[in-house]
Amino acid sequence: MKRDWNPPLASAHRRRLIAASGALLAARVFPTRADSAPLPAIPELEAYLAGRTPQFGRLILDLPRLADDGNAVAMRVTMPGPFAQGEHVTSIALFSEKNPVPKMAQFEFPVPPARVEIESRVRLAGSQRVVAVAILAGGAVHVATAEVLVTLAACLDGP
Amino acid sequence: MRVAALLFACWAAGAVAQTRAIPATELRSGLTFGSAELRAMQADDFANPGMLWVERGQKLWQTPAGPAGRTCASCHADPAASMKGVAARYPALDASTRRVIDLESRINACRASRQQAPRLAAESEDLLALTALVAYQSRGLPLSVTISEGTRETFEQGRGFYYAPHGQMNLSCADCHERNWGRRLLAETISQGHPNAYPAYRLEWQTMGSLGRRIRSCLFGIRAQMLPYDDPTLTALELFLAWRAAGLPIEVPGVRR
Amino acid sequence: MAASRLQVPAEVRRGDSFEVKISIRHPMETGFRVDDSGKPIPRNTIREFTCRYNGKPVFIARLGSGIAANPYLRFFLTAAESGQLSFEWVDEAGERGDALASLTVVG
């Protein structure tokens, strides 16, 4: 039976990520979803907020605490009603703390629906916080954050 | 003395052939090693991305191919009826070539011989779609391949490969999936390595892929010599895996990490 | 041509919220992956997804590489008149996709 020798794949980056996630596992206590925790410092988010003071507690962002794989993580964002006249949701945006492209999506409601709930699947480049921002017609801004621990595959995948 | 030796040899052959490292009652689908979100994604036929390929397969089933413009439906009518139970028997012996073939090869053989249409490439959207469609008709049915005169040699070849050490890390399939299933490898829990959900939508691939692709990923991971898609050893291993997982229900389209 | 699966209830009551689900075959290529020969695969994501209710845009999703491959969307609309829901999307390579569903509103 032939022994194979292939030079180690140049994936120092992946090894660093694995080491880092190991450290993360060791160092972190799983936090409870702190709705009033300060927002992560994301420049694109700051620009989006444009100085407006966001409100916490009403907008709900659901993400699993622990994700199998960062490629597809179930996400649900909900803004419970009822909506007063002129206070309907016009848009909801999603921001990532660690992704190469921080603004993940923006959902718009040209015609406001009675029920504001959106589900999709997001990509997360590693463990991080995600921020949802809802803007109401009257100008109010509501935010929610969620923290996800993203585990990496144990084995390198191939073609 | 010779009779006794012969009897012993028969018994030994029979006993070895029937020995299962993981007894039937302890078989666990890969799904049970995934997160609640993964299980939910597979269980919800709408959220399950693999269903995109099953639907594509449904369209292809009705699509003419080859000079005579035959469709799969021309011979097989409604796949829900004609294909039920088929995937559960694969890999199987192809009567005309006397070789063990997997479902993908069976589909291609049909295309070539019955439709005179070109074979579909491994991992192509169309081959994945047709394989997913056919296997989907066996969803919930237990894997049940036949190890008998025509398939025994291939089975033994597959079993030999499974238990032999491979690659730079000198690991056999059994090292992870028999000796260490249920244990952690970094942040993952090692599964028993069953084929019942394939073709599956793997999050790591961000697309649908065959069992052959999954096995090749493993070979890559342990730094072993890669097996090409058409290598008979790959089919032999798939046959062994199907035998090893006998009784596990087919879950196609599966969703896996 | 992007294949998709669409689920809309056949019949809804006027004023009620109803669920729309759509699943689209699209790699949502990030631009950060490389192919087997090590060449980067160019970014190509669905950028704009629009749902129109009897021709009027009611839901728009502006997506990018932060949304997973083979995007899945589930959202709610409010039932008004009977008619048609049309869905359109376009990716960065200019490829368009669409889907249609009839909607019957009672009451």
| Residue B200 near residue B256 (C-beta atoms within 8 A) | yes
Phi, psi of B157 (to 5 degrees): -65, -45
**Which of C5, C68, C69 is opposite residue B46, by nearest beta carbon?**
C5
Q: Can you give the pLDDT at residue A4?
A: 39
Q: Which CATH class is domain B23-256?
A: mainly alpha
Q: Measured in Å, how far apart are chain C's first and last C-alpha atoms?
A: 38
Is the predicted pLDDT of residue B51 greater than 50, yes or no?
A: yes
Of C51, C53, C31, residue with least CA distance to C43: C31
Does any CB of chain B come closer than 8 Å to the CB of residue C23? yes
Give the containing element (helix H, strand E) for C11: strand C11-13
Environment class of B58 (CB within 10 Å of its CB; exposed 0-12, middle 13-18, buried 19+): middle
Domain hosting C31: range is 4-106
* Cα B108 to Cα A109, B93, B230, distances in angstroms: 47, 15, 12
Q: Can you give the pLDDT at residue B181?
A: 97
Which residue did the predictor score with more confidence, C19 or A33? C19
Instruction: Give the C window 42-101 contacts with B, CB below 8 Å.
Output: 68-70, 72
Tell me the CB-side half-sphere exposure of residue B57, using CA atoms within 13 A: 27
Q: Can you give the pLDDT at residue A157?
A: 78
pLDDT digits (tens, 9 = 90+) for B63-118: 999 999 999 999 999 999 999 999 999 999 999 999 999 999 999 999 999 999 99
The one-letter amino acid at C71: P
Does any CB of chain A come closer than 8 Å to the CB of residue C75? yes
Q: Can you give the pLDDT at residue A105?
A: 98
What one-character DSSP code corresponds to residue C31?
S
Of B196, B52, B201, B53, residue with least CA distance to B126: B53
Give the closest-approach CA distance of A129 to chain B in angstroms: 18
Contact C72 B51 (CB under 8 A): no
Q: Over pLDDT 90: what percentage of chain C?
A: 92
Residue ranges covered by each domain of chain A: 34-150
d(CA C79, CA A111): 12
**Chain C contact set for B47 (CB, 8 A):** 23, 72
Structure tokens at B206: 């961000």
Q: Which 3 state secondary structure label does DSSP give B215? A: helix
Q: Over pLDDT 70: what percentage of chain B?
A: 93
ipTM: 0.96
d(CA B117, CA B110): 9
Q: Can you give the pLDDT at residue A18?
A: 57
| Residue B56 near residue C30 (C-beta atoms within 8 A) | no
d(CA C3, CA B229): 27
Yes or no: domain A34-150 corresponds to CATH 3.30.70.141: no
d(CA B91, CA A156): 27
CATH of the domain at C48: 2.60.40.10
What one-character DSSP code corresponds to residue A92?
E
Mean pLDDT, rounded, for B39-60: 98
Chains contacting C (3+ CB pairs below 8 angstroms): A, B
Task: Determine the residue of chain C that is closest to A122 in CA distance.
Answer: C67
The confidence band for B15, taking pLDDT boundaries of 50, 70 and 90, is: very low
**Which of A21, A72, A156 is opposite residue B220, by nearest beta carbon?**
A156
- pTM (2 decimals)? 0.89
Which residue did the predictor score with more confidence, B252 or B12? B252
| Residue A97 near residue A111 (C-beta atoms within 8 A) | no
> Helices B125-136 and B103-114, interaxial angle, to 10°?
110
Determine the distance from the C-alpha atom of residue C22 to the mean position of all C-alpha atoms in its chain, rounded to a whole number: 6
Residue ranges covered by each domain of chain B: 23-256
Q: Can you give the pLDDT at residue A153?
A: 77
Q: What is the number of other CB atoms lying within 10 angstroms of the CB of residue C68?
A: 24
**Chain B contact set for A3 (CB, 8 A):** 167-168, 170
Q: Which residues pair with C19 in a beta bridge?
A: C76
Q: Can you give the pLDDT at residue B5?
A: 58
Phi, psi of B238 (to 5 degrees): -60, -40
As for how many domains chain C has, the answer is 1
Mean pLDDT, rounded, for B33-37: 94
The residues of B assigned a catalytic role are 218
Contact A113 C67 (CB under 8 A): no
* Cα B96 to Cα B100, B113, B121, distances in angstroms: 11, 11, 22
Instruction: Give the B window 40-59 contacts with C, CB below 8 Å.
Output: 46-47, 49, 51-52, 55-56
Is the predicted pLDDT of residue B183 greater than 50, yes or no?
A: yes
* Cα A140 to Cα A21, A49, A109, A137, A144, distances in angstroms: 37, 11, 15, 7, 14
pLDDT digits (tens, 9 = 90+) for C47-96: 999 999 999 999 999 999 999 999 999 999 999 999 999 999 999 999 99
List, for chain A, all residue ranges whose pLDDT scores fall below the cut of 50: 1-10, 23, 26-36
**Chain C contact set for A115 (CB, 8 A):** 17, 76, 78
